[in-house]
A and B are shown apart, each in its own frame.
Chain A
């Protein structure tokens, strides 16, 4: 059975802090790993990672994949209250582009 485990499940920080969210996986036929941000409604895409060791960066957010140790991290620097959301990790497995999601990390950034 494919598994995607995110940690921590919830996190409370103050504005300006740096946070690291973790995603580990045990799947057959790994193809890619994706990160999404979910505020009040639909998840929105952040990153897609396919190669080990190559950092993807967008503003204050960055992510990296380790295919040997089967995990990825999502870093957010200088957090803002607008970063408060559920962050979802998903792994693409097999053919037909199916995604298996972790349970998410609820990040709360207090002013």
Chain B
């Protein structure tokens, strides 16, 4: 299994509070991604990173920010959580360019915003 862990795995918070989700990898892969998964929408890309301090927006980036200060960690921050951000968040890593486009996913972080 790919060495990718997410924390926390479950979180309940209130509207307006800040939340940070952490993704940690031990594979030294360059590319890291944050997706959210909601019923009826599938997986949607929030932000991604193609190297330390190199990040870009995905299709649903509003209300989210990210940081990657070292290869192994990719943080997703909700500055002021809203109920619409209740979702399951998946981090993924990839070794693109090494004969495969496979994404390895973390176990997911279930966030509930009350």
Contacts and interface: CB of A to CB of B under 8 A. Distances in A.
A21 to B, nearest CB: 14
Contact of A96 (B56, B100, B107): B56
In this complex, the member of A34, A99, A101, A103 whose beta carbon has the largest number of chain B beta carbons within 10 angstroms is A99
Is chain B's interface secondary structure helix, strand, loop, or mixed overall? strand
A101 B42 CA distance: 7
B106 A42 contact: yes
A34 B102 contact: yes
Contact of B48 (A42, A43, A98): A98
Interface size of B as a range: 20 to 34
20 contacts: A32-B101, A34-B103, A36-B103, A42-B107, A42-B108, A43-B43, A43-B90, A45-B103, A45-B104, A48-B101, A88-B42, A88-B43, A92-B101, A96-B31, A96-B48, A97-B94, A97-B96, A100-B45, A101-B42, A102-B42
Interface of A: 31-32, 34, 36, 41-45, 48, 88, 90, 92, 96-104
